Chain A
Amino acid sequence: MIAQNLMLVLVLLPFVGALAAVTQPRGAQRGPAWISGATMAAGLVILAALRGPAGATWPLRASLHWAPSAGLDLAFRLDGFAWLFAALILGIGILVVLYARYYLAPTDSAPRFHALLLAFCGSMLGLVLSANVIILVVFWEMTSLLSFLLIGFRSANVGAREGARMSLIVTAGGGLCLLVAMLILGRITGSYDLDHILAAGAVIRAHPLYPPLLVLFLLGAFTKSAQMPFHFWLPGAMAAPTPVSAYLHSATMVKAGVFLLIRFSPALGGTDAWFWMVTGTGMLTMTLGAVIALFRHDLKGLLAYSTVSHLGLITALAGLGSETAILAAIFHIVNHAVFKASLFMAAGIIDHETGTRDMRRLSGLIHFMPVTGALAIVASAAMAGVPLLNGFISKEMFFAAAADWHNGTWLDNALPLIATVGAAFSVAYSARFIATVFFGPPATDLPHLPHEPVRWMRRPVEALVFICLAIGIAPDAVLGPTLNAAARGVLGPLIPHVSISPWHGLNLPLMMSVIALLAGAAIYFPFARRISEGPEGPPLLWRVRAVRLFEIGLLAVTWKWPRVLHRAAGTDRLQPQILVLVCLALLAGLGVTFGRLSPIGQRAMLAPDLAFVLMWIAGGAAAVGAAALAKYHRFAALMLLGVAGAVTCLTFAWASAPDLAVTQLLVEVVTTVLLLLGLRWLPKRNAEIPGDRLFPARLRRARDLVIAIIAGAATTMAALAVMTRPPGPSIGNWFLRNAHSEAGGLNAVNVILVDFRAFDTFGEITVLGVVGLTVFALLRRFRPADESAGRPAQQTGKAGEIDDLPMLVPSITIRWMFPVLIVFSAWLFMRGHDLPGGGFSAGVTLAIALLAQYLGADTRWIEARITVLPIRWIGVGLLIAGLTGMSAAAFGYPFLSAQARYVELPGIGAVPASTAMAFDLGVYALVVGATVLMLIAIAHQSLRSARQRERAAEEEGEAA
């Protein structure tokens, strides 16, 4: 049980660390680094503890319930393979943290960097430890997202942004393919559990969906592991800070793809399709990657293509799938991570100390930095596969696996040859790296005079190179048991123990190694000068750039085609859009109901009431009048809209919906003022629109009128048809029955809002707050049209003619009304529990009260006396509502469960007191805040233009 919990802690720990790191102060450098180092060290301790007691009972499993109804548990499992990967992730992680502590510039945000790094580390751990394939894909996509953020860490740099975007598009696209593959796997095997799927290999391979499944799965793995033709994102991602490259592109991110291939090879592998696709792609990538690497002039570019090449090697081994091949693949994953991380760090040191990564400029650095140089030379010798270093042994094992007989196809027969060629180029680029950077005449024109880096920046490189040597000299003692445990984790507990030795005697693999070393030297040294003077890429091939193809494709899909489509089928004009929308709705409605639904049902209708018929005539006439006048007489149309709204409210009241009537009346008032505020900024339309009386315009209007009448009639029919039928069993009755007994309120509408459906309300007020803030933000940048920017015509008359004391009587009335309206608002709020009213209408009332004060006097006078902080109202409202909801958890109830009772207050009597009321208070505060925020934001436009006029007048005065 302890072991299970420790495993869950292991996955959660980096995310907790990320939270801790991101909350560090902005300029902190040491704190975040300590947090992330300590987190990873703690992870390693847990990992070591898990290895001791649990070694015998692998796989170790633990799970948290997440969404059991969907078959989704946060399930984790740990076996030898996952253990090895986790150790790699955490171990190299610590070294990267140490390195980054000295690499990051003071201007880089260390808290952000370490938080992202830790979150990435946690995602990788989750990925390798997942026992549920869907969770695995979730962590997989998280690594894609976080690597996007890490690669684009220096977001001011164009290259970093583009590299990050490219890597995200490629790897996240692959992740989507992987998700579909996992869903198919779940369908075939009936479970998303990893153990279950791995045990069902025979069923999967025989299933008709196996080919598409395999293609999708491999797309996911290949994009992540930068296999051809998806390799191009990896060199692009070299714009990342070097610690990120050292971490993501040696030990973690790109290894996720090969992790997946090896993990699923027992279930999906062993078929001809698997062999051809995986080994074929791997060998192609290995060889081409090595060839391209030789011709890169950028130090990190060379390392990037070398990574592509080594990933190809591991992929090819996964494709072979034999026991020795899997062991070799796992071994090479470790070795490559170790030497490549040290090389990336060394490249970072060189870049840091000399100011350039261009190998054509670097030369003779061994004189300036002998220790770093020696370390880098050893690491690149390991990369080339020189004996007594770790790269040599796993490459030997690769040669042995390649030379074995598998299925006798031409690819199988050609494997030893391709492997040797690839290895030869790998030797060649390693030789180039060593020869050009460290030897030759000392460089003279470097941006900085190079020297050794600070001691602690070199320590991680030293540690990694020491591991290279240790594995190379005594592989079985250092890694033997771990590797065998990992292989057993992949292939099952029954495979024989393999002991790894640095010397296998004189055999074919050794011959291949020797040939590769000699051939590599023969490729590089005669052509050294031609390579560094040539273009950045292999001869003939350098014109074909996968990046260019990707960019052309991306441009077409995201820029050109949408525009073509938009030109062909879209319009920016609103009128045709509305026309199409109305016609479509009309056709759809008619198509569904025509001939099947008579407009009048059997339900008895109310007797017509003469007064209300008259009122409705008035309302209808006003609505039509508003539509007719809206074109040239906006103000009159606005007044008519007021009439239509008033009649609507009356109808609500008459149809027994007093709540609606109350709310709607308040909204009417606010809307009228809002539209008047906006009207001031609209340019006046006095002149007629040209061509408005010509025949085509009349014809268009006639057509629109016909469509409008038909649509209106159809809507009326539909409403009539619904209302003249008896209502079916509705949820409303349940609310009416239970409003008082369950929630203690008599006003069912309000009880629904703040109790039964409180979660919806919570969402709605959040949206309202967001809308308020958005309106505010938009209006801050609002600049009126020139013709309405000046002083309104009414204020520009001669002195004496204009009214300097406008509306003195209403102003006084408004000031007197302020306390009355506040009391009214409080009254509406309190009675909302049992009678019409409630937080929303009370909030709008208070907003109107505040707004009225602005109307009654000028803005500056008001703001000198009342300070309203609408944004604070919004925040407090949301906080109150949210905290009220959460308080239910203290009593063990779900979010937003309400408590209700009446409390006897001395002097006032029985007062309803419920948590729903506190929630309603949150609604109240938020509504006040949002409404006031929006209205005041518009009102301040006048203030701003007034200030501008004053400033202009002052400047004129000074000039005169």
Chain B
Amino acid sequence: MSLILTAALIYGQVALAVAALLALWRLLKGPRAQDRVLALDTFYVCIMLQLLVTGLRLGNPHFLVAALIIALMSFVSSVAAARFLLRGEVIE
């Protein structure tokens, strides 16, 4: 693997980690519940990308499945949270 690619991937990992920390900052601080839901969704996106980048760096295809699951399904919990805030209950 070329040096440039390695450096880029490491940079990607660190940058995503910083992004995740910033999302966590918003999550902790709020102030509104809606901010927190948005922050959690962002955090999940960061994790998904982190999985992909790490998978590239380690050359391990299994990371892809986990990333796929986040991509396909993490929105379900965000929708549930959104409904909870908008309507007061998750399933009506």
B91/A621 in contact, CB under 8 A: no
A792/B88 in contact, CB under 8 A: yes
A666 within 8 A of B: yes
- A806 to chain B: which residues have CB within 8 Å? 83, 86-87
A622/B24 in contact, CB under 8 A: yes
Partner of B90 from the list A668, A676, A835 (CB cut-off 8 Å) is A676
- For residue A652, which residue of chain B has the nearest CB? B66
A855/B21 in contact, CB under 8 A: no
- For residue A647, which residue of chain B has the nearest CB? B47
B3 within 8 A of A: no
B20/A635 in contact, CB under 8 A: no
Partner of B47 from the list A649, A807, A835, A942 (CB cut-off 8 Å) is A649
Contact flags A763-778 to B (C-beta < 8 A → 1, else 0): 0000000000000000
B92/A611 in contact, CB under 8 A: no
B77/A618 in contact, CB under 8 A: no
Contact flags B51-92 to A (C-beta < 8 A → 1, else 0): 100100000101101101110111111011111111111111
| Complex: A649 Cα to B91 Cα, angstroms | 27
Instruction: Determine which residue in A611, A658, A817, A820 has the highest number of CB atoms from chain B within 10 A of its CB, and name it.
Output: A611
- A852 to chain B: which residues have CB within 8 Å? 76, 79
A942/B89 in contact, CB under 8 A: yes
B28 within 8 A of A: yes
A824/B88 in contact, CB under 8 A: no
Contacting chain B: which of A22-30, A297-305, A638-646? A638-646
- A722 to chain B: which residues have CB within 8 Å? none
Given the known interface contacts A673-B80, A792-B89, the answer about A639 and B37 at a Cβ–Cβ threshold of 8 Å is yes
- A679 to chain B: which residues have CB within 8 Å? 84
A807/B33 in contact, CB under 8 A: no
- B79 to chain A: which residues have CB within 8 Å? 807, 810, 814, 852, 855-856
Q: Which of B1-57 contact A (CB under 8 A)?
A: 10, 13-14, 16-18, 20-21, 24, 27-28, 30, 33, 36-37, 39-40, 43-44, 47, 50-51, 54
Partner of B20 from the list A615, A672, A837 (CB cut-off 8 Å) is A615
Given the known interface contacts A794-B88, A939-B91, A942-B92, the answer about A615 and B17 at a Cβ–Cβ threshold of 8 Å is yes
B65/A807 in contact, CB under 8 A: no
Q: Which of A585-626 contact B (CB under 8 A)?
A: 609-612, 614-615, 617-618, 621-622, 625
A837/B83 in contact, CB under 8 A: no
Distance in Å from the Cβ of B10 to the closest Cβ of chain A? 7
- B33 to chain A: which residues have CB within 8 Å? 635-636
- A653 to chain B: which residues have CB within 8 Å? 51, 54, 62-63, 66
- A622 to chain B: which residues have CB within 8 Å? 24, 27-28
A955 within 8 A of B: no
A654 within 8 A of B: yes
- B84 to chain A: which residues have CB within 8 Å? 635, 676, 679-680
Q: Which of A261-284 contact B (CB under 8 A)?
A: none
| Complex: A803 Cα to B88 Cα, angstroms | 12
- For residue A677, which residue of chain B has the nearest CB? B90
Distance in Å from the Cβ of B86 to the closest Cβ of chain A? 5
- A658 to chain B: which residues have CB within 8 Å? 60, 62-63, 65-66
- For residue A646, which residue of chain B has the nearest CB? B47
- A817 to chain B: which residues have CB within 8 Å? 72
A676/B73 in contact, CB under 8 A: no
- B75 to chain A: which residues have CB within 8 Å? 810, 813
- A836 to chain B: which residues have CB within 8 Å? 62, 65
| Complex: A358 Cα to B75 Cα, angstroms | 76
A680/B63 in contact, CB under 8 A: no
A577 within 8 A of B: no
Given the known interface contacts A621-B28, A636-B36, A653-B63, the answer about A858 and B92 at a Cβ–Cβ threshold of 8 Å is yes
| Complex: A68 Cα to B44 Cα, angstroms | 58
- B62 to chain A: which residues have CB within 8 Å? 653, 658, 835-836
| Complex: A668 Cα to B48 Cα, angstroms | 14
A821 within 8 A of B: yes
Q: Tell me the total A-B contact number using a CB cutoff of 8 A.
A: 182
A709 within 8 A of B: no
B73/A669 in contact, CB under 8 A: yes
| Complex: A836 Cα to B84 Cα, angstroms | 33
B47/A650 in contact, CB under 8 A: yes
- B91 to chain A: which residues have CB within 8 Å? 677, 854-855, 858-859, 939, 942
| Complex: A622 Cα to B84 Cα, angstroms | 21
Q: Is the interface of A mostly helix, strand, loop or mixed?
A: helix
Given the known interface contacts A643-B43, A658-B63, A676-B80, the answer about A821 and B73 at a Cβ–Cβ threshold of 8 Å is yes
Given the known interface contacts A646-B43, A792-B87, the answer about A673 and B77 at a Cβ–Cβ threshold of 8 Å is yes
Given the known interface contacts A618-B21, A643-B27, A676-B81, the answer about A635 and B36 at a Cβ–Cβ threshold of 8 Å is yes
A639/B86 in contact, CB under 8 A: no
A327 within 8 A of B: no
- A820 to chain B: which residues have CB within 8 Å? 72
A640/B88 in contact, CB under 8 A: no
Given the known interface contacts A649-B47, A673-B77, A835-B62, the answer about A807 and B83 at a Cβ–Cβ threshold of 8 Å is yes
Distance in Å from the Cβ of A526 to the closest Cβ of chain B? 84
| Complex: A642 Cα to B44 Cα, angstroms | 9
B50/A650 in contact, CB under 8 A: yes
- For residue A796, which residue of chain B has the nearest CB? B88
A848/B80 in contact, CB under 8 A: no
Given the known interface contacts A824-B72, A836-B62, the answer about A672 and B80 at a Cβ–Cβ threshold of 8 Å is yes
Instruction: Determine which residue in A639, A672, A813 has the highest number of CB atoms from chain B within 10 A of its CB, and name it.
Output: A639
Q: Which of A524-552 contact B (CB under 8 A)?
A: none
A16 within 8 A of B: no
- B51 to chain A: which residues have CB within 8 Å? 650, 653
B37/A859 in contact, CB under 8 A: no
A611/B17 in contact, CB under 8 A: yes
A803/B86 in contact, CB under 8 A: yes
Distance in Å from the Cβ of A46 to the closest Cβ of chain B? 63
| Complex: A91 Cα to B58 Cα, angstroms | 81
Distance in Å from the Cβ of B91 to the closest Cβ of chain A? 4
Distance in Å from the Cβ of B9 to the closest Cβ of chain A? 10
A795 within 8 A of B: yes
A469 within 8 A of B: no
- For residue B44, which residue of chain A has the nearest CB? A646
Partner of B66 from the list A609, A662, A835 (CB cut-off 8 Å) is A662
- For residue A791, which residue of chain B has the nearest CB? B88
Distance in Å from the Cβ of A842 to the closest Cβ of chain B? 11
| Complex: A800 Cα to B50 Cα, angstroms | 43
A640/B28 in contact, CB under 8 A: yes
A851/B76 in contact, CB under 8 A: yes
| Complex: A801 Cα to B37 Cα, angstroms | 22
- For residue A672, which residue of chain B has the nearest CB? B77
- A803 to chain B: which residues have CB within 8 Å? 86
Distance in Å from the Cβ of A858 to the closest Cβ of chain B? 5
B17/A672 in contact, CB under 8 A: no
- B54 to chain A: which residues have CB within 8 Å? 611, 653-654
A610/B14 in contact, CB under 8 A: yes
A614/B17 in contact, CB under 8 A: yes
Partner of B73 from the list A612, A666, A793 (CB cut-off 8 Å) is A666
Distance in Å from the Cβ of B64 to the closest Cβ of chain A? 9
Distance in Å from the Cβ of B37 to the closest Cβ of chain A? 7
Distance in Å from the Cβ of B24 to the closest Cβ of chain A? 5
28 contacts between A and B (CB under 8 A): A611-B13, A611-B50, A614-B20, A622-B27, A635-B33, A636-B27, A639-B40, A646-B47, A647-B47, A650-B47, A653-B62, A654-B54, A658-B60, A658-B63, A658-B65, A665-B74, A672-B77, A672-B81, A673-B77, A676-B84, A677-B80, A793-B88, A806-B83, A835-B62, A851-B76, A852-B79, A939-B90, A943-B92
B contact residues vs A (CB 8 Å cutoff): 10, 13-14, 16-18, 20-21, 24, 27-28, 30, 33, 36-37, 39-40, 43-44, 47, 50-51, 54, 60, 62-63, 65-66, 68-70, 72-77, 79-92
What are the 6 closest A-B residue pairs judged by CB atoms, nearest first?
A792-B88, A611-B13, A614-B17, A658-B62, A939-B91, A672-B77
Known: A642-B43, A643-B24, A650-B51. 11 other contacts (CB 8 A): A625-B27, A635-B33, A639-B40, A650-B50, A661-B66, A662-B65, A673-B76, A673-B80, A807-B86, A810-B75, A835-B65
